[in-house]
Structure 1
Amino acid sequence: MSEKDILLQSIKDFLTPKMLKYALLPFIISIIVMYILFFVAAGIGVEQLGTMHVESSQTTMQNGIPHTETLEAELEGSAIMKFLMSYTITSWLATFFIYIIGGFLTIYLSIFVAIIIIGFLTPFVLKELHLRHYRDIEMVGYSNPIHAIFLAIKYSAIMILLFFLLIPFYFIPLVNIVAINIPLYYFFHKMLTFDVSSSICTKEEVKQIEFFNKNNIRVKTLLLYLVSLVPFAIFFGAIFFVIYLGHTYFLEVKKIRNI
């Protein structure tokens, strides 16, 4: 089956009533989680702005002797917000950064949350694909809940570590766009390929597929990741990602087993 055929078949499978029903779950749960996280983060941000220390100094000359006057003040409660919003430029900048940073974090967190959620739905989606197209292929699988949780923690820790290690590159224009996406793509690729492969293949088959098709699979997950950066795409497309990679792994296993 050509790559075009795999893509078209994946779209057809995704548009079936059962798959669309599965697609709604990540959407609903992710929206709820993201709204909670957004308001919690916003509340913390406003609270941090609750107090600001303002200090200014002015030096004047009196009879040839310099005199320095220092003015100190504390802006508390909503005073800081009133201070920022009292000037057009500061008002615009504050609003701009709140929405830009908030939107940026929302997209990245939505990808992280959606990947975790679809991990629970992947077996059901792949079983449906199995019944529809691959009944002649036994779904062996090799994982268990404890192993899956361990790997999720491991990949999350490595992702966080990469975020810190790449900090110097975040200040270089254009390079920062790539650098800031590397950690999350790593998590996206690892979790998605693990969820799909561990439900279909044996460990030995996974090693063979990764050895002979490593670049092909990376290209696919990279394209899927880029699609997920489109706002709200991950909410609707998460199940499609599983279907698309599911077809890929089923076909590779079919070749290995000479079915």
Structure 2
Amino acid sequence: MSEKEILLRSIKDFLTPKMLKYSILPFIISLVVLYIVFFVIAGIGVEHLSTLNVESSQTTIVDGVPHTENFNATLSDSSMLKFLMHYAISSWLAAFFIYALGAFLAIYFSIFLAVIIIGFLTPSILRELQKSSYSDISMIGYSNLPSALFLALKSALIMILLFILLIPFYFIPFLNIIALNLPMYYFFHKMLLFDVSSSICTKEEAKNIAYFKANNLRLKTALLYLISLVPFAIFFVAIFFVIYLGHTYFLATRELREPQ
């Protein structure tokens, strides 16, 4: 089956009523989690920023006599923000970076969260694909909870390590785009392929597919990751990712199991 046929079949399967129902779950669960996280972070921020002590001193010389003036004030709530906006020369620049960083973190967190959520839905989605198109292929699978948790933890730690190691590249134009996205793509690629392959194949079959179709799988996950960078798009199309890769793995598994 050609890549075009796989893509068209995946879109067709995604638009079925049952799959569209599945696609609502990541969106609803993510909204609830993001809502809770937002208010927790906001509460911590308000608690720490509700009061701020500002101290400064200035020494002037009048007629050869030094005079030192001390300024001490406690700023709270809106008065603190007014002070910062009034006295910070580059407050507009700071605001830009704050909003840019917030948007960047929101996209990253949404991808991370969606990948975790669809991991729980993947077996059910793939069973639906098996019933409709791959009844001749047994879903053997090799995943279990300890191995899934270990891989998630390992991938998350490597992702954090990559974030740290790539810091020097964050300040180089164009390269910083790759450097900022490479760690999250690594986590996205590893978890998505594990979720799909571990539900369909044996461990040996998964290794064979990963070896012989490495470039094909990387290309597909890279394209899916680019779609994920559209703000919150992953909450609606995450199920499509599983369907698309599911077709790929079912077809590859069929090839491996066919008598030579």
1:118 deviates by 0.5
Q: Are the equivalent residues in 2 in contact too, given 1:159–1:187 (CA < 8 A)? A: yes
The aligned counterpart of 1:157 is 157
Counterpart Cα distance in 2 of 1:167 and 1:4: 38
Q: Are the equivalent residues in 2 in contact too, given 1:170–1:180 (CA < 8 A)? A: yes
5+ residue gaps, structure 2: none
Alpha-carbon spacing, 1:7–1:147, altered in 2? closer, same or farther (3 Å): same
1:92 deviates by 4.8
Q: Are the equivalent residues in 2 in contact too, given 1:84–1:94 (CA < 8 A)? A: no
Q: Are the equivalent residues in 2 in contact too, given 1:38–1:106 (CA < 8 A)? A: no
Report the residue type matching 1:22 in the other structure: Y
The aligned counterpart of 2:6 is 6
The aligned counterpart of 2:216 is 216
The aligned counterpart of 1:240 is 240
Alpha-carbon spacing, 1:92–1:36, altered in 2? closer, same or farther (3 Å): farther
The aligned counterpart of 1:122 is 122
Counterpart Cα distance in 1 of 2:79 and 2:51: 8
1:150 deviates by 1.8
Counterpart Cα distance in 2 of 1:123 and 1:71: 64
5+ residue gaps, structure 1: none
Report the residue type matching 1:37 in the other structure: V
Counterpart Cα distance in 2 of 1:162 and 1:37: 25
Counterpart Cα distance in 1 of 2:109 and 2:213: 29
Q: TM-score, normalised by structure 2?
A: 0.91
The aligned counterpart of 1:58 is 58
The aligned counterpart of 2:195 is 195
The aligned counterpart of 2:132 is 132
Counterpart Cα distance in 2 of 1:163 and 1:133: 41
Structure 1 window deviating more from structure 2 (138-147 vs 230-239): it is 138-147
1:147 deviates by 1.4
Count the aligned residue pairs: 259
The aligned counterpart of 2:207 is 207
Structure 1 window deviating more from structure 2 (247-256 vs 78-87): it is 78-87
1:53 deviates by 3.7
Counterpart Cα distance in 2 of 1:61 and 1:84: 28
The aligned counterpart of 2:227 is 227
1:170 alignment partner, SS class: helix
Report the residue type matching 2:154 in the other structure: K
The aligned counterpart of 1:171 is 171
The aligned counterpart of 1:107 is 107
Q: Are the equivalent residues in 2 in contact too, given 1:38–1:102 (CA < 8 A)? A: no
2:111 alignment partner, SS class: helix
1:50 deviates by 2.7
1:256 partnered with 2:256: yes
1:58 alignment partner, SS class: strand
Alpha-carbon spacing, 1:173–1:57, altered in 2? closer, same or farther (3 Å): farther
1:65 deviates by 4.5
1:196 deviates by 0.1
1:59 alignment partner, SS class: strand
Q: Are the equivalent residues in 2 in contact too, given 1:52–1:76 (CA < 8 A)? A: yes
Counterpart Cα distance in 1 of 2:45 and 2:77: 13
Report the residue type matching 1:75 in the other structure: L
The aligned counterpart of 1:35 is 35
2:155 alignment partner, SS class: helix
1:180 deviates by 1.5
1:188 deviates by 0.5
Counterpart Cα distance in 2 of 1:47 and 1:90: 25
Which segments of structure 1 move beyond 6 Å, counting only runs of 4 or more? Answer: 87-91
Counterpart Cα distance in 1 of 2:104 and 2:42: 14
Identity of paired residues, percent?
Answer: 69
1:61 deviates by 2.4
Structure 1 window deviating more from structure 2 (34-43 vs 207-216): it is 34-43
RMSD over aligned CA atoms reads 2.2
Report the residue type matching 1:205 in the other structure: E
Report the residue type matching 1:246 in the other structure: G
